[in-house]
Structure 1
Amino acid sequence: MGLDDRRERDDVYQPAEDSDLLATAAMADVTPTDRVLDVGTGSGYVAAQLQAAGARVVGVDRNPHACRQAREAGIDAVRADLTAAFAAEAFDLVTFNPPYLPTEPDEAADDWMGVALSGGETGRAVIEPFLADVGRVLAPEGRVLLLVSSLAGVETIVEHAAHVGFASETVTEDSFPFETLSVLRLTRN
């Protein structure tokens, strides 16, 4: 691995406990006929597992380095913001491991890794716009698997999802000393 490869890897969120939790939930939910959008695909870790299960997967990320890594993992990756680049009712399943760490305004993300981690003051700065538009790209019976952290206020996220027309259920969770991570399965009310 050359210096440029290491530098690029440092600019892309690499799989961690949250990635594994989302991937496990997604593998239990996906079917081989699903059209899947992996939002914030990063290295393509979750997307690659779903693709190996036979699903047709597209990854999306704002980070050009992430798109390159996902492509190297065999994922069709689009550089765009959240779901904005996609047609209505295009996907059966949308997965998302969003930036959820609460950050103060003076800690604004000034590099790609900061963008991948920073959820704004509440931890929901990316989650809320995602919830506002994800219903548009879902097929009528589509579903969303959203990783959330107790640091970002899970109940507030569930309430926001309900406000935009989604029922929520927790499909898995894991506790750590500083937070609990959960995967919410969202379906239309």
Structure 2
Amino acid sequence: MTTYLPPLPHDTLPPTRVRRPVLRLPGTYPAQGDTFLLARTAVGRDAVAGRDLLDVGTGGGTLAVTAARAGARSVTAVDISWRSVLTARLNGLVHRASLTVRHGDLFAPVAGRRFDVVLANPPYVPAATDRLPRHRPGRSWDAGRDGRAVIDRICDGIGDVLAPDGRLLMVHSVLAGEEATLDRLRDRGFEASVVARADEPFGPVMRARAQVLRERGLLGADQVHEELVVVEAFR
């Protein structure tokens, strides 16, 4: 059975050697602070070694490779982008990490399977419209006007892929609503809490969108950082 640890102090996450991808095909979003926070949290909370793990929305494969090298029993990674799938496979080979990387939308490629741990770093940046990009780089970060288009789908579908004693660890910005995530998971029968936080300087996407988000009241006038949270959920 999985042993659930008490939340780590938000500013004392243990150091973890994150396996940064060395290859990245054009159009694949590079791993940034949110990915590294989630990787450190998962390893620090003893959620990886000896577990069957799913990395949904793997991108270049940073989380998947880190999990494999940290002792996961098996690692399956999924992404809707073929470029990301190929990048993750290549990085698995380069790092000599045993990965199964599948193409598809969220949990569809693993329907019928159950995992001890699911890691998710979904798109969460509030966008101008609720129409999600399909074939542009923006699909790696655009998540509808409230930033929850993919987060809500993960909350709604996670029960179909978690083992009875499994857990979800998902990272996103507080701009997408941490309480909304906790409430949605709890409404679906999960215990849910924030187990890690970090302030992250704005990257290129947030810098480009900051003025619009300020006009919508989502950012302060002088705000140049966003707060990231890792949400943990289990039955």
> TM exceeds 0.5?
yes
Corresponding position of 1:60: 78
1:13-162 equivalence runs, <5 A: 13-28=29-44, 29-55=46-72, 56-74=74-92, 75-88=99-112, 90-105=114-129, 108-109=132-133, 111-162=135-186
**RMSD between aligned alpha carbons?**
1.8
Deviation at 1:173, TM superposition (A): 0.7
- Residue 64 of structure 1 aligns with an amino acid whose one-letter code is W
- Residue 115 of structure 2 aligns with an amino acid whose one-letter code is F
- Structure 2 residue corresponding to 1:10, chosen from 15, 19, 26: 26
- Residue 158 of structure 1 aligns with an amino acid whose one-letter code is L
Gaps of 5+ in 1: 1-5
Alignment length, in residue pairs? 182
3-state SS of 1:118 partner = coil
Deviation at 1:107, TM superposition (A): 7.6
Are the structure 2 counterparts of residues 81 and 170 from structure 1 closer, same or farther at C-alpha, using a change threshold of 3 Å? same
What is the TM-score normalised by the length of structure 2?
0.73
Q: Distance in 2 between matches of 1:64 and 1:87?
A: 19
- Higher-strand-fraction structure: 1
Deviation at 1:18, TM superposition (A): 0.6
Identity %: 35
Contact 1:37 1:94 in 2 (8 A): yes
What is the TM-score normalised by the length of structure 1?
0.90
Gaps of 5+ in 2: 1-22, 93-98, 201-223
Deviation at 1:148, TM superposition (A): 1.8
Moved over 6 A (4+): none
Q: Distance in 1 between matches of 2:113 and 2:159?
A: 8
